[in-house]
Amino acid sequence: MKVVLGMGVCYIYGAGEHFTPPEEVGMHDLVIAADGGLMQLKKHGARIDLYVGDLDSIESIPINIDRVILPREKDKTDMMQAALIGAERGFRTFCIFGGTGGRLDHTIGNIQLLAELTNMGYSVFIVGKYDVVTAIRNNEIYFPSHFTGNISIFPHSGDASGVYEEGLKYALNNAHIPGTFNGVSNEFVGVKSRVAVESGMLLVVYERQGGRMHLNISTCAMTAGNQIQKPSG
């Protein structure tokens, strides 16, 4: 299948727990298997556009799959290299599966990758079995009224100021929160909601909606250009 670079979502599949096959991958999307993620994608008969890895978790690569072979000893993980390749190809939105569970250090490493890509201006979603984690830096994210379940926020890389939580069970209005703040278990309440931060970075964790990826990313709108809209009045 011909892939039109940079116009869709870059899906990256690792070998972590709670693997989920691709859903509604389009012709403008790119599907990258990060090393052991190749075996999971093959198991489900899923589309694979590119393999990126050091071959330490797989036996072979199908001959019809493009590949970037990495050295075993390197400064960046296979997942990180896969994301950078997606960025080089012009993609601005990344969706990572198999990036949680398994080895705790790899899970934390993927959270750090999420933060690094967010600092670079990309939109990134790490999808687990039950939850999705994304990040916003000097930015905001909107959720539609049909979202249900819990949503939590955590400062990353220090304090955060100008923090807003609107349309949720518990509100924050222009709050300053320290880097140790534990914002677990706010709730969606059936109205359009918003999380914003004027200065700093927030990790935002929310429940997967109906198990379908397009409800998790395309309906969650991040504001372009980092323009935070303050409430009137």
State which amino acid sits at residue 28.
H
Q: b/e per residue, 189-215, with b = 16+ CB within 10 A?
A: eeeebbbbbbebbbbbbbbbbeeebeb
Tell me the C-alpha distance between 109 and 93, whole Å: 19
Do residues 201 and 137 touch, judged by C-beta distance below 8 A? Answer: yes
DSSP character for 42? H
Separation in Å, CA 198 to CA 2, 32, 194, 229 = 40, 33, 13, 9
Query: What domains can you pick out in the chain, each with its CATH number?
Result: 7-129 (3.40.50.10240), 131-221 (2.60.120.320)
Tell me the C-alpha distance between 215 and 66, whole Å: 30
Please give the model's pTM, rounded to 2 decimal places. 0.86
- pLDDT in tens for each of the 233 residues of the chain? 344 445 789 999 988 776 666 667 888 899 999 988 888 888 888 888 999 988 777 677 777 878 788 777 777 788 889 999 999 999 999 999 988 877 888 889 999 999 999 999 999 999 888 889 999 999 999 999 999 999 999 999 999 999 999 999 999 999 999 999 989 999 999 999 999 999 999 999 999 886 544 444 545 556 544 455 655 44
Residue with tokens 């429940």: 207
Residue with tokens 């991958």: 25
* Selection from 124, 49, 114, 116 nearest residue 93 by Cα: 124
